[in-house]
Amino acid sequence: MRRFQISSRCECQAILSATLDENRHVLAGWAARPGVKDLAPAHSINAHLERFDVGWLCPFCNRNTLRTFYAGALRSIPETASGTAPSKSDGSAPGA
């Protein structure tokens, strides 16, 4: 499944981020300030449109921050955790 990551800056200067699934629904949202990272409830609005909105509830300033995103500009997250890590065998075990 393709996933996307978006981020924007809140009025309080916290960085709001969210992970979206391929239907642009929010899987997880969080907010970060230098040295602090906290969960931020987020949801997408009109996710089926090319230009859709994502709203965060910022845990730092309690604003409901709405940002517009363009679907064609979303960055997909590379699937690094898909089990393709090289299995290491250094041959130190006694021969079987």
Binding residues vs Zn ion (CB under 5 A) = 10, 12, 14, 58, 60-61
Question: Closer to Zn ion at the Cβ: 34 or 95?
Answer: 34
At its nearest, how many Å lie between Zn ion and the CB of residue 63?
5
Angle among Cα 29, 38, 14 to the nearest 5 degrees reads 85
Question: Closer to Zn ion at the Cβ: 28 or 32?
Answer: 32
At its nearest, how many Å lie between Zn ion and the CB of residue 33?
9
At its nearest, how many Å lie between Zn ion and the CB of residue 29?
12
